[in-house]
């Protein structure tokens, strides 16, 4: 797998510090599970953060020791192997329960905290997503196939970071359907009337 579009330094730092909304954290964790380069960069950031913490001392609140001991004695939750995404969809991509958006495009909204939303998008080969801009940040990670937009081509493992400045029309490449994991912290800004009218129903 040849990944060309990686996580930005601010995103990696925010993830390492635990400061990202759950939806963005899911996209970052899934990309890191696919990308050797970003996994190494994240490990370096976490090592630096650990060294900084070792050099500091902090007073523990009353009851902190008891709380930690109670967590150690509690039964451990079962862990899922593979992608961080597996726990959100109950397995691999074949387990996804899709809902139609029109023109063959489908989505599955994932259960995350309200600070941002995460969804899987299924775009048939050669089909486009309506032209749109952004009211916040959108992270889009390609899990299968590839898409192109006004900026570049994005294949498996590639991450597109879209901000309020970007307006684009992603188009799935011919030959293979495209599946993406996307997270947004604000509704998209569609340019055509019909997508704007349907937007509240599709929660995008």
Q: What is the pLDDT of residues 35-78, one digit of tens each?
A: 999 999 999 998 875 555 555 555 656 665 565 455 445 443 33
Per-residue pLDDT at 165? 86
pLDDT digits (tens, 9 = 90+) for 147-168: 999 899 999 999 999 988 888 8
Which tokens belong to 101?
């958006």
At 179, is the pLDDT very low, low, confident or very high (cuts 50, 70, 90)? very high
**Rounded distance between C-alpha atoms, residue 83 and residue 123, angstroms:** 21
**What does pTM read for this prediction?**
0.77
pLDDT digits (tens, 9 = 90+) for 76-119: 333 334 689 999 998 889 889 999 988 899 999 999 998 999 99
Per-residue pLDDT at 161? 94
pLDDT digits (tens, 9 = 90+) for 120-148: 999 999 998 877 777 889 999 999 999 99
At 7, is the pLDDT very low, low, confident or very high (cuts 50, 70, 90)? very high
Task: Output the CA torsion sign for 29, 35, 37, 43.
Answer: positive
- Specify the DSSP element, H or E, that contains 5: none
At 26, is the pLDDT very low, low, confident or very high (cuts 50, 70, 90)? very high
Domains of the chain: 1-204 (2.60.120.10)
Q: Could you tell me where the beta strands, DSSP code E, fall in the chain? A: 99-102, 105-110, 117-123, 132-134, 138-144, 147-148, 153-154, 159-162, 171-172, 178-184, 188-190
Contact 23, 112 (CB under 8 A): yes
Phi, psi of 13 (to 5 degrees): -65, -45
**Rounded distance between C-alpha atoms, residue 199 and residue 195, angstroms:** 6
Per-residue pLDDT at 73? 52
């Amino acid at each position: 797998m040849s990944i060309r579009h990686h996580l930005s330094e601010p995103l990696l730092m925010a993830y390492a510090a635990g400061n990202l909304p759950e939806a963005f954290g899911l996209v970052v964790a899934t990309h890191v599970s696919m990308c050797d380069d970003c996994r190494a960069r994240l490990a370096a950031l976490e090592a630096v953060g650990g060294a900084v913490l070792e050099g500091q001392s902090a007073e523990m609140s009353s009851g902190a020791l008891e709380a930690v001991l109670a967590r150690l004695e509690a039964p451990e939750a079962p862990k899922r192997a593979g992608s961080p995404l597996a726990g959100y969809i109950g397995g691999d991509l074949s387990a996804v329960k899709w809902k139609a958006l029109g023109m063959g495009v489908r989505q599955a909204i994932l259960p995350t905290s309200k600070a941002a939303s995460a969804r899987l998008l299924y775009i048939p080969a050669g089909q486009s997503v309506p032209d749109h801009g952004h009211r916040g940040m959108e992270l889009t990670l390609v899990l299968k196939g590839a898409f192109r937009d006004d900026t570049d081509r994005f294949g498996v493992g590639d991450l597109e970071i879209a901000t309020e400045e970007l307006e684009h029309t992603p188009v799935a490449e011919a030959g293979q359907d495209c599946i993406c994991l996307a997270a947004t912290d604000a509704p998209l800004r569609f340019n055509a009337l019909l997508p704007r009218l349907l937007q509240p129903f599709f929660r995008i």
